Chain A
Amino acid sequence: MNANADVAVEEAVIVIRRVFDAPRSAVWRAITEPKHVMHWFGGTAFTNMACDMDVRPGGLWRHVMRAPDGTEITCDFVYLEVDVPKRLVWKNSDGGQSGRPASVTTVTLDENGGRTEWKLVARFNSIADRDQAVGMGFSETISAGFDQLDALLKTL
């Protein structure tokens, strides 16, 4: 399994790539059917208590889990795009009211020789909102200043 993740703090975008040794149809089911999602979401440290998914645009994903410190966490998401079995887009349905920044998460699955290439892109808050509003990709909003800020963050 290959794994890499990069965090572009200044862009408020996170990209996480993986390659799974499984066909795309299996990965798709693993991320869209609660009976499967319960087995992996959050990793071993989190306990999944409830998962309801209505996988269609406008449908809700309500997830309840217990964090390592015992805190019960309820996540409410709404699906924005569902393109079986290759693309799934969702966002926080509470618009960040939970105290966590609102994000739009896009998972793209590409099948390659029986393996599945996973790419997750999370865009946070106003940047994502603005992109949606003007209907263009995030890259078009990027301008100067990133490199320095990246260096700056490393010094904090």
Chain B
Amino acid sequence: MPDLLSTTLSALADPTRRGILARLATGDATVTELAEPYAMSLAAVSKHLRVLESAGLISRGREAQWRPCHLEGAPLKAVSDWLDDYRRFWDRSLDQLADYLKTMPRDEPT
């Protein structure tokens, strides 16, 4: 069972799904509307939507006839935060490495 971040990253690892999310960032949309930019069947688009939905990246209306898709920002935020943490860890490490290199013995045998 992969962790939530990996599930989100996995769902994001496809250009069509990223395109769908980008479209949903401008407002809710139906499957038909989401399929328009792509040369693929509604069934294929629905498959991508299921991946996004199971990753929690979108939700779909239960009542409305066309079950419009809605972007859920929390998983994206979690991924963004994780990547920021990772970058900060290395930034701090490399700050320290730069300092350490100033005093590190240079001529010892390896």
Chain A partners chain B: yes
* Inter-chain CB contacts under 8 Å: number: 148
Q: B-facing mask of A90-117, CB < 8 A → 1, else 0?
A: 0000001001111100000000000000
* Contact A9/B80 with A16-B87, A40-B97, A41-B93 known, Cβ cut-off 8 Å: yes
A interface, by DSSP: helix, strand, loop or mixed? mixed
Contact status B13-A27, CB under 8 Å: no
Contact status B13-A3, CB under 8 Å: no
Q: A-facing mask of B75-91, CB < 8 A → 1, else 0?
A: 01101101110110111
CB distance from B96 to the nearest CB of A (A): 4
Q: How many B residues, CB 8 Å from partner?
A: 44
Within 8 Å by CB of A39, from B3, B5, B13, B100, lies B100
Contact status B10-A156, CB under 8 Å: no
CB distance from A85 to the nearest CB of B (A): 9
Contact status A26-B104, CB under 8 Å: yes
B-side contacts of A36, CB under 8 Å: 100, 104
The interface stretch among B18-26, B28-36, B61-69 is B18-26
Q: Does A120 contact B (CB under 8 A)?
A: yes
CB distance from B109 to the nearest CB of A (A): 10
B interface, by DSSP: helix, strand, loop or mixed? helix
Cα distance A125–B95 when bound, in Å? 26
Q: How many A residues, CB 8 Å from partner?
A: 56
Within 8 Å by CB of B3, from A12, A99, A130, A149, lies A99
> Which residues of B30-72 are within 8 A (CB) of A?
71
Cα distance A155–B2 when bound, in Å? 27
User: Which residue numbers of A lie inside 8 Å of B, CB to CB?
Assistant: 1, 3, 5, 7, 9-10, 12, 14, 16, 18, 20-23, 26-27, 29-31, 33, 36, 39-46, 96, 99-103, 118, 120, 122, 124-127, 130, 141-146, 148-149, 151-153, 155-156
Question: Can you give 25 contacting A-B residue pairs, CB < 8 Å?
Answer: A5-B87, A7-B83, A7-B84, A12-B79, A16-B91, A20-B98, A20-B101, A21-B98, A22-B101, A22-B104, A29-B110, A41-B96, A43-B89, A101-B5, A124-B6, A127-B9, A141-B15, A144-B19, A146-B18, A148-B19, A148-B23, A153-B76, A155-B25, A156-B76, A156-B77
Beyond A43-B93, A124-B6, 4 additional pairs, beta carbon < 8 A: A5-B87, A12-B9, A96-B2, A149-B21
